[in-house]
Structure 1
Amino acid sequence: MQDLISHQLVKYLENRGVEHIFGLCGHTNIAVLAALENSRIKFINVRHEQIASHAADGYARAKKETAVVLSHLGPGLTNAATGVANAALDSIPMVVIAGDVPSHYYGKHPHQEINLHADASQYEIYRPFVKRAWRVERPDLFPEIIAKAFSLAESGRPGPVLVSVPMDIFSKEVDVSLFERLQPHANKLKRPSIDDQTAHEIIDSLAAAERPLLYVGGGVMLADAAAELRAFVDHMGIPVAYTLMGKGAVSDDHPLTLGMTGFWGTTFINDSCRNADLILAVGTRFSEADCSSWEPKYTFHIPPTRLIHIDIDPKEIGRNFPVEIGVVADLKNALHVLNRVAKTRFPQPRQNEAMAEKIRRYKESFWAQVQKHAQSDSYPLRPERILADVREVLPQDAIMTTDVGWNKNGVGQQFPIYEAGTILTPGGFATMGFGSGGALGAKLAQPDKVVVSLIGDGGFGQNPSVLATAYEENISVIWLIMNNNAFGTIAGLQESHYGTTYGTVFLKEGVSYSTDYVTIAKGYGIDGIKIEAADQLKPALQRAIAAEKPFVIDVAMLNEPVPTDGHWNINDIYTSKVKQQV
């Protein structure tokens, strides 16, 4: 029996349980769109491909499943590239299916062909950041390629893959038995764990240490291992520090949770890491901002601190710090074994009341300092006041997406997260614009949860057409715009080192101005409120939640840098340049 590739692709995706596809039309993918018209899979139509890839990213994080993007060739694929690269650096599983030029026109300059260095080479532009890029050369190869694409996206360290399909192949027939033979294949592969001997070695090392510490990253969320991690912390009584991507892995109100490390960390948290004699790191890459540029006098001093590192990706173990024990394993499986061995080795939970008391006193002092700004009635609002009001109103299980600036760095430092997976942030790529599109995907993945995109005016301005998709599909995301009429974080950095904010603030004839985002929202058919006094924010957010519709809240915010005791050596670089010029 023969059938069109486009029809069989949709059936394959249905059989895998795919419920949503994010994308934008083009002449190379309309065969797939036609096949989707009567499918139970919902196509989420966007106005810009970057929104599609960010929405797919947010969807995959919130649903813990591989997301699917459908793209056009050339500019469609390059528009989506930023969101796909963001997913790659944060290890988010994604399959990008892109139309390509007709195979019989390779090298003849068909419409939108990329061929400066090789004929029909559009798929090569994704090679630096996807796990693999395929170009389908024949219809009979497509079934195995699409199956391999999903398997690779989900296995090992997750990430995006690209399947580039010439438009004529979408419309060619294929023997359906080539798809049917894939049905017995397991959709999910078993992941590696650790052996008991290694687990005993790790537990004994932690028990013998005087100042042990757990350092957790976003890999805990990717492995869905937060419950196992919490059980391990409770039984072993070891304090926990986290990366930006690891925020929420253990609740911020846990008595042994220290907080975020690095540039936006505090002296107490960074010193606790630096002075540890043994660190068990799980699911982290030890990236620059989290590690104070790896300079030993700030956050980590390894060695002499000893390091045990567990990660699914062997390339990350020993990349930035030497390890005493390196383990390649799935974190959920590894922590399951560690918990079992820990309970065998220590039948009763180990207490660490002295450390818990130190952390309690530190948090009490830290929040006392924050409160003076968090309770300020000034207008424009203090950023601390915005975060405090949002935290007070939101349910603990609400999902928040952030962007860059105060809404990412300040949230990491000053916004408690109580449930794993409820904060979705662009970590590795730090992409401006992720928050608005990512929230669409998160809400589709978790329709019963409140979803708020906490985003700056610079970030929201990247792709305001996200509102069109929200209106058409009634995706009840709340966009809360922290509006400082600037690319505020960069403006603060430039002003502190160069004494100017040129090119970083929004001016009209030398006067600061703001886009009217509420009017823009209404133009898309969406309600909005512009906050004009500090006491208006909480009622506005409560109204937005109750509406259960897309909603925009525009909050004028004072442009203040996120306070930090941490270190990032770009400051040294800029200071050095300024001194040289002087």
Structure 2
Amino acid sequence: MTSQQSSTVRLTVAQALVRFLAAQYSERDGREQRLIPGMFGIFGHGNVAGVGQALLQAQVQAEEAGGGHSVTQRPVTDPADGELPYYMARNEQGAVNAAAAFAKTTNRLQALAVTASIGPGSTNMITGAALATTNRLPVLVLPSDIFATRHPDPVLQQLEDPRCLDISVNDAFKPVSRFWDRINRPEQLIPSALAAMRVLADPAETGAVTICLPQDVQAEAYDWPVEFFRKRVWHVARPVPEPAALQRAVEAIRSAKRPLLVAGGGVIYSEASEALRAFASATGIPVADTQAGKGAINWDHECAVGGVGSTGNTAANTLAREADLVIGVGTRYSDFTTASHTIFANPDVRFVNVNVLAFDAAKHAATMVVADAREGLEALGAALGGYEVEAGYTERAQELDAEWQRVVDECYGRDHTPLPAQTEVFGALNELMGERDVVINAAGSMPGDLQCLWRARTPEQYHLEYAFSCMGYEIPAAMGVRMAKGEEGQVVAIVGDGTYQMLPMELATIVAENLKVIVVLLQNHGYASIGALSESRGSQRFGTRYRMRNAATGRLDGEEVPFDLAANAASWGADVLRCDGIAAFRENYAVAAASDRPTVLYIETDLYGPNPPGSAWWDVPVSAVSDLDSTRQASKEYEEEKAAQRPYL
């Protein structure tokens, strides 16, 4: 055998990709873990004989090498060297959602791959890819593609574009991916795979990474350099502040009278909670949080004031309106965080932003500190050297927070009849769940109530997807979170009847994988959030309630649709406990927590709330002209509220 022969191995493109992925690792702070510990997938003609065959072959080889033990018996986050476990999802979007939740739970140090067949299978993943990229979460998306040879043209499920024969539906992934490539020749996989891993492991650039795999190329053989398959460790950077930028930030903070720190998801991903608590305790600066940042500082810390923005609370929003300096750490300043550019109302307000991504650090004409959140907070704390805000300002923040906590107690224990308000369910969960348990939510009215009310004690306890606010996220996310956490703690997904109907089928995957999750299913026969928004914007809750078509009016305003979501949940194989009121809910939660089976807690709640009092605005335009009195009144109110909106310059 020649040296050239001994330095290569003949594999298909799909086999080479699977073998490559199994050899990739990430490292931060001396802790090393598999970067891609497994793959979700649904097979069709585009990938069943390519990636599907490669995963089967790798599993058989791993079983033979391990004496017949199944690869899935190991923790998802820690497969044996060379293994790439496969997990069969029921819906391609659900698989990507689960992968995003997995990455969020591992603080972006690990990512799952997701493969799908060509055409509808792959395009089903686009929404999930958008969710991952919007939330800055690493997911490796592997859509199958049309034939590179174009011999069968058009192939089944191919989109034909007469302007360009090289376009497929997978080109739609480009705007929602942080990296995108198509492998038309085997050797193209080498630079593409390496570039993909770099982006997945980069905290500033990460998001959905898409590698399109034509179905004929997947099965094509090539002599691969053995070096391609060696173990590679991708070191996750912790950029430190540039000294001059740090000094500018320190000067801005020292000159402020009423600074407010806004903690975003970047604080949690960089595991900077201890640094944040130390910074707040040393300086006395109040700390508000975004949806992604809740739990970065424990709710009962002396400087914590809770959620800020459109779905924030009165305490944080009052301080935000008065602040002359906003210190944003690891936040991208979403529309909700700024209350559509109205909440930071001080005419002299300035911003200091600490962010690993310069794009976010530069927002609102800020003094930029491009740095890892932990490194930035520690450097700021050291450079401020004994700086503290005035005692009166700290006392005011604490008084505002104490007032808000009384509102929380009221919302949690209001004993609303005849059906409970969803806030009562949240109150019971907040009391019953432990520090290592995780609550999951994404869409509807619940994120607003939760950001206002939830008392997060640890960074891991609160898992909200509110960058994309994707209905249907919660059940797949529960699967991804449980896979990342192993057997530790409870994983509780809260879903409304609307979001449940979007993606319930991953309950079957949860059952198949024997994953212990609790799904809290709130039935209120409509879209609570959009219904309330519709009413406030003059559209009279049109099209937001689940009703039968009324033969007399021709509208959807008849009897309630007679579906039984509890029975539907049971049909997927989960245990279902019906809860008649909050007392029964508490009892059944204890049963579900003690069980080793996936369990759905079904409870009916009041569609109309009541919800926590609002304290900020959200820009949702109202029709400028209308024949409806309700719309005309809403339009007048909208113009008055919009007057407070401004750019932060």
Question: What residue is the counterpart of 2:396 in the other structure?
Answer: 358
Question: What residue is the counterpart of 2:44 in the other structure?
Answer: 26
Is it true that 1:457 corresponds to 2:513 in the alignment? no
Task: Note the C-alpha offset of 1:113.
Answer: 1.5
* Structure-2 separation of matches of 1:351 and 1:305: 16
Mapping for residues 564-579 of structure 1, pairs under 5 Å: 564-570=614-620, 573=622, 578-579=631-632
Letter in 2 for 1:543: V
Mapping for residues 498-517 of structure 1, pairs under 5 Å: 498=538, 500-509=540-549, 510-513=558-561, 515-517=563-565
Task: Note the C-alpha offset of 1:186.
Answer: 4.1
Is it true that 1:7 corresponds to 2:7 in the alignment? no
Task: Note the C-alpha offset of 1:460.
Answer: 0.9
Three-state SS of the structure 2 residue aligned to 1:568 is coil
Tell which deviates more after alignment, 461-470 or 556-565: 556-565
Tell which deviates more after alignment, 275-284 or 561-570: 561-570
Task: Note the C-alpha offset of 1:7.
Answer: 1.9
Give structure 2 stretches of 5+ with no counterpart: 1-8, 25-33, 63-82, 550-557, 637-649
* Structure-2 separation of matches of 1:569 and 1:401: 26
State the aligned residue count: 571
Is it true that 1:115 corresponds to 2:160 in the alignment? yes
Q: Which structure has greater helix proportion?
A: 1
8 A Cα contact 2:527 2:545, kept in partner: yes
* Structure-2 separation of matches of 1:232 and 1:497: 42
Three-state SS of the structure 2 residue aligned to 1:455 is strand
* Structure-1 separation of matches of 2:210 and 2:567: 38
**What whole-Å deviation, never above 9, does each CA across 1:271-306 have from its counterpart, x for those lacking one?**
2112122221112222212112113xxx11365112
Structure 1 residues 338 and 373, CA gap change in structure 2 (3 angstroms): closer
* Structure-1 separation of matches of 2:221 and 2:323: 62
TM-score normalised over the length of structure 1: 0.92
Question: What residue is the counterpart of 1:413 in the other structure?
Answer: 452
Task: Note the C-alpha offset of 1:353.
Answer: 5.2
Is it true that 1:290 corresponds to 2:337 in the alignment? yes
**What whole-Å deviation, never above 9, does each CA across 1:83-118 have from its counterpart, x for those lacking one?**
111111111111101211221127821111123253
Three-state SS of the structure 1 residue aligned to 2:102 is helix
Question: What residue is the counterpart of 2:74 in the other structure?
Answer: none
For residue 472 of structure 1, the aligned residue among 512, 522, 541 is 512
Question: What residue is the counterpart of 1:151 in the other structure?
Answer: 198
* Structure-2 separation of matches of 1:106 and 1:209: 68
* Structure-2 separation of matches of 1:372 and 1:282: 31
Tell which deviates more after alignment, 417-426 or 88-97: 417-426
Tell which deviates more after alignment, 116-125 or 381-390: 116-125
Letter in 2 for 1:180: E
Three-state SS of the structure 2 residue aligned to 1:149 is helix
Tell which deviates more after alignment, 138-147 or 37-46: 37-46
Structure 1 residues 256 and 352, CA gap change in structure 2 (3 angstroms): farther
Structure 1 residues 277 and 359, CA gap change in structure 2 (3 angstroms): closer
Question: What residue is the counterpart of 1:219 in the other structure?
Answer: 266
Question: What residue is the counterpart of 1:49 in the other structure?
Answer: 92
For residue 387 of structure 1, the aligned residue among 426, 430, 435 is 426
Three-state SS of the structure 2 residue aligned to 1:573 is coil
Is it true that 1:268 corresponds to 2:315 in the alignment? yes
Three-state SS of the structure 2 residue aligned to 1:193 is coil
Tell which deviates more after alignment, 538-547 or 508-517: 508-517
* Structure-2 separation of matches of 1:27 and 1:499: 46
Give structure 1 stretches of 5+ with no counterpart: none
8 A Cα contact 1:379 1:532, kept in partner: no
Tell which deviates more after alignment, 435-444 or 232-241: 232-241
For residue 181 of structure 2, the aligned residue among 122, 134, 139 is 134
Mapping for residues 33-182 of structure 1, pairs under 5 Å: 33-37=52-56, 38=59, 39=62, 40-64=83-107, 65-105=110-150, 108-116=153-161, 117-119=163-165, 120-155=167-202, 156-177=204-225, 180-181=227-228
Task: Note the C-alpha offset of 1:15.
Answer: 1.3
Is it true that 1:519 corresponds to 2:567 in the alignment? yes
Is it true that 1:490 corresponds to 2:530 in the alignment? yes
Letter in 1 for 2:170: Y
Question: What residue is the counterpart of 2:599 in the other structure?
Answer: 551
TM-score normalised over the length of structure 2: 0.83
Three-state SS of the structure 2 residue aligned to 1:413 is helix
Structure 1 residues 512 and 404, CA gap change in structure 2 (3 angstroms): same
Letter in 1 for 2:617: H
Is it true that 1:328 corresponds to 2:373 in the alignment? no
* Structure-1 separation of matches of 2:431 and 2:346: 39
8 A Cα contact 1:397 1:418, kept in partner: no
8 A Cα contact 1:530 1:555, kept in partner: yes
**What whole-Å deviation, never above 9, does each CA across 1:470-526 have from its counterpart, x for those lacking one?**
110011111101221111111122233336333211113511246322222222221
Letter in 2 for 1:565: S
**What whole-Å deviation, never above 9, does each CA across 1:195-240 have from its counterpart, x for those lacking one?**
3443344234323422122112122223332222222222222111
Letter in 1 for 2:313: T
For residue 442 of structure 1, the aligned residue among 481, 489, 505 is 481
8 A Cα contact 2:37 2:111, kept in partner: no
8 A Cα contact 2:249 2:369, kept in partner: no
* Structure-2 separation of matches of 1:53 and 1:181: 27
8 A Cα contact 1:497 1:575, kept in partner: no
Task: Note the C-alpha offset of 1:124.
Answer: 1.3
8 A Cα contact 1:212 1:277, kept in partner: yes
Structure 1 residues 499 and 122, CA gap change in structure 2 (3 angstroms): closer
Is it true that 1:256 corresponds to 2:303 in the alignment? yes
8 A Cα contact 1:97 1:165, kept in partner: yes
Aligned CA-pair RMSD: 2.3
* Structure-2 separation of matches of 1:576 and 1:371: 42
Is it true that 1:301 corresponds to 2:339 in the alignment? no
* Structure-2 separation of matches of 1:222 and 1:484: 35
Tell which deviates more after alignment, 154-163 or 101-110: 101-110
Question: What residue is the counterpart of 1:533 in the other structure?
Answer: 581
Three-state SS of the structure 2 residue aligned to 1:467 is helix
8 A Cα contact 1:379 1:534, kept in partner: no
Tell which deviates more after alignment, 394-403 or 110-119: 110-119
Task: Note the C-alpha offset of 1:11.
Answer: 1.6
* Structure-2 separation of matches of 1:366 and 1:331: 28
Percent of aligned pairs with the same amino acid: 24
Task: Note the C-alpha offset of 1:144.
Answer: 2.0
